[in-house]
Structure 1
Amino acid sequence: MRNSDTAMIVYLIVFTMCMAELKTTTAANTTTLKQNFYGKSCPAAERIVRRTVSDAIAQNPGIAAGLIRLYFHDCFVRGCDASLLLKSTPGNESEQDHGANGATLRGMEVIHKAKAKLEAQCPKTVSCADILAFAARDSTLRAGGFSYRLPSGRRDGTVSSIDEAGENLPPLGPDIATIFKSFSRKGMSMKEMTALLGAHSIGIVDCRFFSSRLYTFNNKPNSTDPSLDKKYASFLKRKCPQNSVSGGKVNLDVVTPNRLDSQYYKNLKKKMGVLGLDQQLETTPSTAKFVSNYSKFPEVWAADFAAAMIHLGSLGVLTGNEGEIRENCEVIN
């Protein structure tokens, strides 16, 4: 690695942590979350999660995207309470069974592995909700080279509803204004939404989620979304043939597919967003200014992404005597 690259990474980490510290103070004051919450009760807690996550990503780099997505999908429904990890029971379909989750969820085995290690060392102490939050932060460090200070002390919820998942998870299809309503209801800004969508710089997506952009744009047969670069559209068509039954997948970022970075925004400037939602960030005036800024200044995006992740992690949390500390993240005690 060149000295200039090392210096940039160090700068990103320091700058991001400073920015995140400001946001953390606000979150901690309003939710009673705090830094080093397990300092006395389970000093090795964060280290155990970090090692588990690092080992998993070393074996499969794509797991980083899955873990960040788990955190997002959990926090957007009932707050960050690990309700996403609860399995369905007779008479109740959980969040996992919603179409936006289901078979698309990745990384839960990493959470369960970390939980098993923590239960062996510190029984009934570390919540599944905090493990999810730690795992997302550690995935950011492993895949992006920058980190942030994250307060903890979340407790686990005892309710998981497929209907609530449908009501709260932002849809992929509608325009930016519609999607932003989901963020706005959570008290999150347009800038935070744009920064968080930068997580689409890693991970994969099923062809079925964007094939209409390639073949039936605006419900017109043999019509391709004009906001897609023509060469890139041809590339995607080769990856996702029309009427294919194979159910193909593509990288959300073809340039640096396993690196959490601002390349995502550079791609959008080149009309290389896979999802219609992504490309709309560049064509919508209220978000285009952020896309332009992030494409030019990666350290600014890193700081804003970190701050937004911390804010996201403070949504609707259970603390104190609320909820419970699950012994098994999949079932209520």
Structure 2
Amino acid sequence: MVLSLYSLHFMLLTFSIFGFLSLLDAGAPPPLTLDYYASTCPNALDIVKKEMECAVTSDPRNAAFILRLHFHDCFVQGCDGSVLLDDTFTLQGEKKAAININALKGFRIIDRIKNKLESECPSTVSCADILTIAARDAVILVGGPDWDVPLGRNDSKTAGYAMADQNLPTSDEGLVSIISKFVYQGLSVTDMVALSGAHTIGMGRCVNFRERIYGDFDASSRGNPSSETYLNSLKAMCPAAGGGDNDETAMDYVTPKLFDNYFYQTLLKGEGLLNSDQELYSSVFGIQTKKLVQMYAEDQMAFFEQFSESMVKLGNITNPDTSDNGEVRKNCRFVNT
């Protein structure tokens, strides 16, 4: 069903009110601070940075893995480290949710960081904070912007298996649905467009872009010769009849290992790999998003500034339950016994 712009506005307002009331009902958790570990673990940030430097130097794709982990964590129960939990007899984690099972990597990097921090300051630095710091460092290490990371999150003792598929945007979703999921988290349309720019270092699996390349890719890219060549290469590695579901290609095929604004330039050309990305520029509902895509494609500094601001907002999505019932896990994969 096609929604009018009035209907879209009404729905977004409803989600905003619902999110605000939810926060009031839950009660505000203790505020995060920049100097949270200054006295209890003063080397915490340096330890995370050193381990991330090793990880990204050995494989630049590790930057995208950690950034994606952070995003998938924060959209389910808030930024509480729940995405890091393994399944046990008494807990069903989020890792095997349909949207996560083949998409998330980088868990061993977080394990290594946690082991270092447990040696330095036992039971002090939460896994949720580790992941948030590591995501910032990952972006910097591949050429992206820096920002201050507020700290003091607790780790959850629960996970949101069902919430993962409900809350996280999928590759084939339309713009209205994607906006509603961001607004539900307290993030604006501007935040959504800026955070989507993280795909400049991301990879997409064939199963997530098959419908796009055999659907409206030609129409959005207007069939220019360079786009035709690109499309043919995508079809060669991702056949319409099936097979190769887990084969991957870069969402920014020009500078896939560099955090820059080229992702938005691919959208201007109609070459977005995922339908959910191209919708930012091509959707009839994307009056605001189209302008933002154009601005970020033309002005990398504007993109970097907004990305930094939006990442802080993302990282500040909290799980109110962890203020009273949270913990600092000794092992990021399991709750403390």
SS at match of 2:296: helix
Q: How many residues align structurally?
A: 299
Aligned to 1:332: 335
Moved more, 69-78 or 266-275: 266-275
Aligned-pair RMSD on alpha carbons? 1.7
Identity %: 37
Conserved 8 A contact 2:30-2:323: no
Aligned to 1:280: 279
Matched, 1:226 2:224: no
Conserved 8 A contact 1:31-1:317: no
Q: List alignment gaps of at least 5 residues for structure 1.
A: 1-28, 218-222
Question: Cα–Cα, structure 1 residues 43 and 136, in superposed 2: closer, same or farther, change >3 Å?
Answer: same
Q: Determine which of 291, 298, 306 is the counterpart of 2:308.
A: 306
SS at match of 1:235: helix
TM-score, normalised via structure 1 length: 0.86
SS at match of 1:226: helix
1:172 Cα offset (Å): 2.3
CA distances 1:27-71 after superposition (whole Å, capped 9, x unpaired): xx9851000211110011010001101100000100101100000
Which residue type is aligned with residue 236 of structure 1?
L
Which residue type is aligned with residue 291 of structure 1?
V
1:90 Cα offset (Å): 2.1
CA distances 1:168-221 after superposition (whole Å, capped 9, x unpaired): 112222211111100011111001000000000012111110111223x2xxxx
SS at match of 1:205: strand
Q: What aligned pairs does 1:136-147 form with structure 2 within 5 A after superposition?
A: 136-147=135-146
Conserved 8 A contact 1:68-1:139: yes
CA distances 1:275-297 after superposition (whole Å, capped 9, x unpaired): 01111111122200000000111
Question: Cα–Cα, structure 1 residues 226 and 46, in superposed 2: closer, same or farther, change >3 Å?
Answer: same
Mapped partners of 2:331, 2:79: distance in 1: 17
CA distances 1:96-146 after superposition (whole Å, capped 9, x unpaired): 110111132111111010000000110000000000000000001101242
Aligned to 2:318: 316
CA distances 1:218-256 after superposition (whole Å, capped 9, x unpaired): xxxxx8552144332222112323335333211111000
Question: Cα–Cα, structure 1 residues 224 and 292, in superposed 2: closer, same or farther, change >3 Å?
Answer: closer
TM-score, normalised via structure 2 length: 0.85
Question: Cα–Cα, structure 1 residues 142 and 277, in superposed 2: closer, same or farther, change >3 Å?
Answer: same
Conserved 8 A contact 1:76-1:169: yes
Conserved 8 A contact 1:83-1:157: yes
Q: List alignment gaps of at least 5 residues for structure 2.
A: 1-27, 222-226
Conserved 8 A contact 1:213-1:225: no
Mapped partners of 1:145, 1:83: distance in 2: 26
Conserved 8 A contact 1:31-1:314: no
